[in-house]
A = this chain, B = another copy of it.
Amino acid sequence: MDICVEKCINEKKVLETIKTIPQPEIISSMADIFKALSDPTRLKIVLALLKQEHCVCDIAVICNQTDSATSHQLRILRTQKIVRNRRDGKIMYYTIDDDHVAALINMSLTHVQH
């Protein structure tokens, strides 16, 4: 019944499932969020900002990276609306943009700890 007969497709089940899957653009956007969090350095930035607001140079120190590399990473996180920045004179302060992020991070932490 559920065995792949002819061409190895169980058409009914496949169509049933396809109906429930979001549009490609939605899937792509979701993947982009996960991609933004998939780099250890970027994840460390997010974890740091979950504690408190920081400027770029402080984030660079926390991540043991150059300011330039840090700035590149922050741009990716900004694009995905994961972090937000505000300028105070020469200093640019970064914060977590919304609280879905904290929920995502906590969920993955729970998953890692079995």
Q: Which residues of A contact B (CB under 8 A)?
A: 2-4, 8-10, 13-14, 16-18, 20-22, 24, 26-35, 37-40, 43-44, 47-48, 51-52, 54-55, 57-58, 61-62, 67, 81, 89, 91, 93, 98, 100-101, 103-105, 107-112
For the complex, would chain A's binding face be called helix, strand, loop or mixed by DSSP majority?
A: helix
B3:A91 contact, CB within 8 angstroms:
yes
User: What's the Cα separation between A39 and B33 when bound, in Å?
Assistant: 10
Nearest opposing residue in chain B for A21, CB measure: B47
Residues of chain B with a CB closer than 8 A to A27's CB: 40, 43-44, 47
A58 to chain B, nearest CB (A): 5
| Complex CA distance for A107 and B10, rounded to whole angstroms | 30
